[in-house]
Amino acid sequence: MIEFSAIRDARDRIADHVLSAPLVASPSLSEIAGVSVHLKLEHYQPTGSFKLRGAFNSMLQLTEAERSRGVITVSTGNHGRALSYAARALGSHATICMSRLVPENKVLEIRRLGADVHIVGSSQDEAQQEVDRLVAEKQLVMVPPFDDQDVIAGQGTVGLEILDAMPDVATVLVPVSGGGLVAGVAAAVKNKRPNAKVIGITMERGAAMKASLACGRPLQVEELPSLADALGGGIGLDNKLTFAMCQALVDDVVLLSESEIAAGIRHAYEKEREIVEGAGAVGIAALLARKVTGFSGPVAIVLSGRNIDMDLHRHIINGMVPT
């Protein structure tokens, strides 16, 4: 577990570097759910996803000597972009290792921010091996994408902002991959609202956290292409924090088909006037698919990112779902 005070401290630390994203009402989703539904617009962050919070909270706690050595991470795209942005802002340099499954638009944005990019293998686990090699060879400082107390605390500030805007929140729907966001949000929300439900949402294809929770231990699963590409990757067989936090704090993890994720993307665009990527749309998609029901009070849905290839977005809006 991480202390609630660490999340509070993270909010103060990153305040000048990230957006306090709006929490806005959704009349269309409120009508479907039968309760007030609000959307937490994390895709408004400068790098297009919530990941900037954890990246800055980690970078700001490094020493000058550590920053001068450079930082490195493994990423499915959004954490790499966030770390590249934070490193450049703080006078450091980032190296980002990714698999071939990461969409090209995300790779290009990371390169645009000046990071060194290494594309290795067909899974996040294979890309992590390249991280380990470069850490040993070049003494770079690793900033993990999720299983790290500073990263989790940074992502947990999303939960604090939801509580500030909606003190009576009863349910929070959060995208889940490695678990940094959902663990941080759950730690923040349940500290103040212990009876509130925090539900993780992910895709059917390669849902590592769901499989691990069902088994009772971290598992390695096959990483598969998905519209929710940012939710790909494993949780690490040596997971130290997020698995246990999800076991203790997350009420359920819901799986979505590719067509359900596409429906979430379309709804976000047509009804909410928001462009979100697959991972950012899963909360909306779960509500539309009636995979979360029986709400006892106000609902907050985290829209985690917008970094979708726009050609793909147009295809989805026009009713086509890639297989």
Q: What is the pLDDT of residue 62?
A: 98
* Mean pLDDT value of segment 177-196: 98
Question: Tens digits of per-residue pLDDT, 268-323?
Answer: 999 999 999 999 999 999 999 999 999 999 999 999 999 999 999 999 999 977 66
Amino acid (one-letter) located at 48:
G
Q: Are residues 186 and 280 in the same domain?
A: yes
Q: How far apart are CA 269 and CA 219, in angstroms?
A: 35
Q: Are residues 66 and 162 in the same domain?
A: no
**Which two structure tokens, joined as six digits, stand for 123?**
């899974």
Which of 81-85, 123-127, 140-144, 249-253 is predicted with the least confidence, judged by mean pLDDT? 123-127
Q: What is the pLDDT of residue 321?
A: 76
Q: Are residues 159 and 64 in the same domain?
A: no
Q: Are residues 284 and 168 in the same domain?
A: yes
Q: Among residues 97, 93, 61, 90, which one has the least CA distance to residue 76?
A: 97
Task: For residue 271, give Cα distances in angstroms to 16, 195, 226, 317.
Answer: 32, 30, 23, 12
Q: What is the pLDDT of residue 323?
A: 64
For residue 322, tell me if it sits in a domain.
no
Output the average pLDDT for the chain. Answer: 96
- Alpha carbon distance, N-terminus to C-terminus of the chain: 38
For residue 323, tell me if it sits in a domain.
no
Q: Are residues 30 and 137 in the same domain?
A: no
Q: Are residues 198 and 278 in the same domain?
A: yes
Write out the residue range of the structural domain in which residue 123 sits.
Answer: 52-142
Q: Are residues 161 and 268 in the same domain?
A: yes
Record the pTM: 0.96
* Mean pLDDT value of segment 126-132: 94
Residues 232-255 as b or e (16 or more Cβ within 10 Å = b): bbbbbeebebbbebbeebbeebbb
CATH of the domain at 86: 3.40.50.1100
DSSP tag of 34:
T
Q: Are residues 45 and 57 in the same domain?
A: no
Q: Among residues 242, 253, 239, which one has the least CA distance to residue 211?
A: 253
- Final residue of a domain: which of 115, 142, 169? 142
Strand partners, 283: none
Q: Are residues 254 and 116 in the same domain?
A: no
Q: Are residues 81 and 34 in the same domain?
A: no
Q: Are residues 232 and 296 in the same domain?
A: yes
